[in-house]
Amino acid sequence: MKRFLALLLALTFSIFCFVGCTKIGEDGNGAEIDVYLGTKPLNLDPAIAYTDENAVQILNLIFEGLFRLNANGKLEKALCKKYEVYQNARTGIKEMKITINTTHWSDGSEVQANDIVYAWRRILDPDFNSPAASMLYAIRGAKSAKLGETSIYDIGVYPSSKNTVVVEFEDNADVNEFLCNLASPALVPLRENKISTYKDTWSRSSTDLSTNGPFRVRKFSSNPTEILVLQRSKYYKLNIVTNTEAADKFVTPYRINVHFDLPADLTVVYLKGAQESVMTKYAAKELFYLSGITKAVADANSLKLKTIDASSTFSYIFNCNKSYFADAKVRYALSVALDREHMAELVGMGTEAATSLLPSMVFNTKKGTSFRKASGDVLPATSQLDEAKQLIKESGINPKSLGQIEVYYRIDPVNDSAGSDRLGNQSKERAIAQYTKTVWEELGFNVVVRGVGDAEMETRYNNGSYDVMAIDFSVVSPYAFYNLAQFAREYSGSSKLVMEGDADFDKSVGKERYYISLPHACGYISEAFEELIENAHKETNAKAKAQILHDAEKLLLEEGGICPLVFNKTNYMSQEISGLKTTFWGTVDFKKADLKNYEKYNFANTTSENEETTQTETN
């Protein structure tokens, strides 16, 4: 009897401890937090989604890499459990052995070392284009593989066991830089069977998307105004065999419901038939977190927003393959004609003029130093219209004879319209595009601005069917080199297979088929810039390398390889939520977001996680 009572007491105590570790109420799920983020990204491929700042916010919630960088730039382990760097006694090659934590994909399959190796080989495949490729060039043979000189299966990265990855380094590799690069959202593990089976839809549909982060994608489609639902992954870090941990041990909210169909504020936005808005929903406590708000909405409601630097710079790229943009003088003239301070005022909410390219968090030499701060003003903050006119004259082109110059920007399908213009509301993209039109027409150009959806933007970016395009130039690395290097052909991450009979086939290569390196998507080619990037890659002294990169950034901007306009900010506000954290990449982390008294808001949330079935696939 005593033994029975002792056992009963122990069981009761264990149950008490278990319940005490959870914030889940009687519904058995947890809070559903409804949020507004602005416009909806339609492609969540972590290797390429770096022209839309909103995509980076979502990626950081659904994928987890080997490491993470906290808001202060400190490197922390994530998927990585432990690692060691050593010299291989047999080969003399410096190696790193990485052991990963036990965790699972959103369908219950175990995350394995193979998933990391596959994701990296995919980026290094010469038939796949990704700006993240140069971050992996520290791996033995990686650069040669990207250039098509060796097989991706011969590079120095392989799984030595189910949970262990071995990396072999090039002789000049900076291991500390490589570790920080492993915190990039671009280098997360991926499911080979998902991507090979659903090549066109795996990153665009919740049905086909498999994630290893704190949230899985419960609802996601190509409809630009349909809700995006992120749901706690019941397999994230949890032991699916014993299943003894509280469901919210690692992820507090049950769901994050991201709304895209609401007009921001009907006092400044026109949307036919609309009865509710983001602001009315927020006032009624039906939305609890807002981001992606325009200056007009913030001013109309006297909003007190929190502001952090985003990891992107809103920029124009010129299609250098167009004859009239082949001349660097023309590109630079169009750049310096613009008043960046005025554009920052149009966007408001703490936005700053981008007089250089890389945002503030990018390291100059090491953590705690800022490349942007060290760069200073590479471009003028105010309009230099007379200088621009002189440069156009020197170029010898006649702007009036060129026909239409089309400027493409990503439209907000709900809030951007002529009616909203009249009420005083414009998205960042629309406001800056319309200002640009007035300035460039003063130079004699015939400018047409075209707001298009995310899908069309992606298509035009990839096939070069634009004159000028507005993008969020998002950094992929905390180090300047890997963000600037993508404008040099051997580091762009883009290649092309050339075969006999092709116009650019070169017999002197001595092969019937071979790969050539392509420039950045904008077509910018500068041998002087590429020489600086190559010198920076070889340089081992941090200060000397930084100076070379500052020279490279200056040349890139003076040749109009890219035209930075304003440094993006993440402006947000919340109510009834605690536990929000910001990240190095200027995003907001919802893993521990706690909605106060959520039961009274989430009365419709009655479906238990255990009632949802997900087919478990073998990895």
What are 116-173's pLDDT values in tens digits? 999 999 999 999 999 999 999 999 999 999 999 999 999 999 999 999 999 999 999 9
- In this prediction, residue 246 carries a pLDDT of 81
- Interatomic CA distance for residues 289 and 274, integer angstroms: 21
Tell me the sheet residues that pair with 452.
Answer: 410
Q: In this structure, what DSSP letter does residue 160 have?
A: E
- Interatomic CA distance for residues 295 and 430, integer angstroms: 13
- CA dist 290 → 37, 453, 499, 583 (Å): 6, 22, 52, 17
Say if residue 619's pLDDT is above 50: no
Could you tell me the two tokens for 122? 């995919």
Phi, psi for residue 25 in degrees, rounded to 5: -85, -160
Residue 614 in domain: no
User: Of 136, 158, 188, at which residue does a domain stop?
Assistant: 188
Q: What percentage of the chain has pLDDT greater than the value 90?
A: 89
Q: Show the CA angle centred on residue 153, arms to residues 151 and 156, nearest 5°.
A: 105
Burial of 147 per CB tally in 10 Å (0-12, 13-18, 19+) = middle
Q: What confidence tier does 247 reach under pLDDT thresholds 50, 70, 90?
A: confident
Are 322 and 181 in a shared domain?
no
Q: What confidence tier does 553 reach under pLDDT thresholds 50, 70, 90?
A: very high
Looking at residues 438-467, what average pLDDT do you find?
A: 97
Residue 248 in domain: no
Are 346 and 488 in a shared domain?
yes
- In this prediction, residue 238 carries a pLDDT of 76
Place of tokens 């399959």: 109
- In this prediction, residue 26 carries a pLDDT of 58
- Interatomic CA distance for residues 57 and 440, integer angstroms: 33
What are 250-267's pLDDT values in tens digits? 999 999 999 999 999 999
What are 379-397's pLDDT values in tens digits? 999 999 999 999 999 999 9
Tell me the sheet residues that pair with 474.
Answer: 312
What are 284-336's pLDDT values in tens digits? 999 999 999 999 999 999 999 999 999 999 999 999 999 999 999 999 999 99
Contact present, 489 and 340 (Cβ < 8 Å): no
Average predicted confidence (pLDDT) for the chain:
93
Lowest mean pLDDT among 212-216, 293-297, 369-373, 603-607: 603-607
Coil, strand or helix at 146: helix
Residue 500 in domain: yes
**CATH code, domain with 387:** 3.10.105.10
Place of tokens 């490349």: 371
- Interatomic CA distance for residues 415 and 277, integer angstroms: 11
Q: In this structure, what DSSP letter does residue 109 have?
A: P
State the DSSP string of 1-44. -HHHHHHHHHHHHHHHHHHHT----TTSS--EEEEE-SSPP---
For residue 152, what are the domain limits? 65-102+112-188
- In this prediction, residue 129 carries a pLDDT of 97
Please compute, for residue 509, the number of CA atoms within 13 A of its CA located in the half-sphere on the CB side. 13
Lowest mean pLDDT among 65-79, 209-223, 228-242, 537-551: 228-242
Are 184 and 311 in a shared domain?
no
Say if residue 344's pLDDT is above 50: yes
Q: What confidence tier does 243 reach under pLDDT thresholds 50, 70, 90?
A: low
Please compute, for residue 203, the number of CA atoms within 13 A of its CA located in the half-sphere on the CB side. 21
Say if residue 548's pLDDT is above 90: yes
Measured in whole angstroms, the distance separating CA 477 from the mean position of its chain's CA atoms is: 10
Cβ atoms < 10 Å from Cβ of 353: 22
Say if residue 617's pLDDT is above 70: no
Cβ atoms < 10 Å from Cβ of 428: 28
- Interatomic CA distance for residues 61 and 54, integer angstroms: 12
User: Of 569, 596, 613, at which residue does a domain stop?
Assistant: 569
Residue 258 in domain: no
Contact present, 476 and 322 (Cβ < 8 Å): no
- CA dist 51 → 182, 474, 492 (Å): 20, 6, 15
Contact present, 419 and 373 (Cβ < 8 Å): no
Lowest mean pLDDT among 404-418, 431-445, 552-566, 604-618: 604-618
- Interatomic CA distance for residues 473 and 334, integer angstroms: 18
Measured in whole angstroms, the distance separating CA 280 from the mean position of its chain's CA atoms is: 30
Are 170 and 312 in a shared domain?
no
Residue 298 in domain: no
Contact present, 113 and 161 (Cβ < 8 Å): yes
Contact present, 45 and 268 (Cβ < 8 Å): no
Tell me the sheet residues that pair with 34.
Answer: 257
Contacts of 464 (CB under 8 A, 6+ apart): 319, 321, 521, 523
Contact present, 350 and 571 (Cβ < 8 Å): yes
Residue 334 in domain: yes
Contact present, 595 and 576 (Cβ < 8 Å): yes
- Interatomic CA distance for residues 474 and 561, integer angstroms: 15
- In this prediction, residue 244 carries a pLDDT of 64
Give the residue among 258, 214, 205 at the shortest CA–CA distance from 233: 214
Place of tokens 């605690």: 578
Residue 211 in domain: no
Residue 609 in domain: no
- CA dist 86 → 89, 91, 165, 517 (Å): 9, 12, 14, 33
Say if residue 230's pLDDT is above 80: yes
Contact present, 145 and 152 (Cβ < 8 Å): yes
Q: How many residues does the chain have?
A: 619
- In this prediction, residue 69 carries a pLDDT of 97
Cβ atoms < 10 Å from Cβ of 40: 27
Ramachandran quadrant class, 92 (left: phi over 0; alpha: psi -120 to 50; beta: rest):
left
Q: In this structure, what DSSP letter does residue 101 have?
A: P
Could you tell me the two tokens for 309? 């630097």
Looking at residues 369-381, what average pLDDT do you find?
A: 98
Count the domains in the chain. 2
Contact present, 22 and 432 (Cβ < 8 Å): no
What are 107-118's pLDDT values in tens digits? 999 999 999 999
What are 10-59's pLDDT values in tens digits? 444 444 444 445 666 655 689 999 999 999 999 999 999 999 999 999 99
**CATH code, domain with 145:** 3.90.76.10
